[in-house]
Structure 1
Amino acid sequence: MMNLVAWLFRIVVFVILAVFASKNSHPVMLQYTLDQSIELPLSVVLLISFALGALIAMIVVRCQCNSND
């Protein structure tokens, strides 16, 4: 039963992300140095930002757990 709930949750999240990506496909310009820039869809920029934030949070939590041991 839990396996079914997990799969339904994954499907719902996938559909929400697909709709979000299709509605946010406008290009944005990212300037990462004074003379260099890259143009990406807004949904990609948001996904990368979320992934980096989640990665940093996981690293911080793991370091805090290791320091408590």
Structure 2
Amino acid sequence: MRYVIWALRLLVFVLVLLFALNNTGPVDVTFYADYVLHQVPLIVVMLVTFIVGALFALLLILPSALRRRREASRLRRELEKMRQQANKVLGDAPKAQTPAPEVVAPLAPM
């Protein structure tokens, strides 16, 4: 399965690389207030657009990820507290004698 995933990654990389190499022509990029960048390679424009989109996506995901991390931390603390309480209750109860292994399964004669 690991090899299939790596083969798919390689295939996607090659397809993206071929797409990028076919789109290297110069383009004019117009911003607000009539500010224009002339003759910028299209691949650079696509790369910058992808990076800006990825950063916006990370900024949108960040609050919920932090909230989940905080909740998981709270649940771990609560679980540890419950384990300590259970150990305290079980520690007060008399311990049952566990039989020796030889009693449960006698050793075979030599």
Structure 2 partner of 1:11: 10
Q: Which of the two has greater strand per residue?
A: 1
Gaps of 5+ in 2: 71-110
Question: Which structure is larger by alpha-carbon Rg, 1 or 2?
Answer: 2
Q: Distance in 1 between matches of 2:29 and 2:44?
A: 12
Q: What does 1:29-40 align with in structure 2 at a 5 Å threshold?
A: 29-32=28-31, 34=34, 37=37, 39-40=39-40
TM-score by length of 1: 0.70
1:12 offset after TM fit, Å? 0.7
Structure 2 partner of 1:62: 62
Alpha-carbon RMSD across the aligned residues, in angstroms, is: 2.2
State the identity as a percent.
32
Q: Which secondary structure state, in structure 2, belongs to the residue aligned with residue 25 of structure 1? A: coil
Q: Which secondary structure state, in structure 2, belongs to the residue aligned with residue 12 of structure 1? A: helix
Gaps of 5+ in 1: none
- Please list the CA deviations of residues 34-64 of structure 1 after superposition, one character each: whole Å capped at 9, or x if unmatched: 5563532112211221121012102210222
Structure number with greater CO (CA < 8 Å, separation at least 6) is 1
Q: Distance in 1 between matches of 2:11 and 2:47?
A: 17
Q: Distance in 2 between matches of 1:34 and 1:57?
A: 28
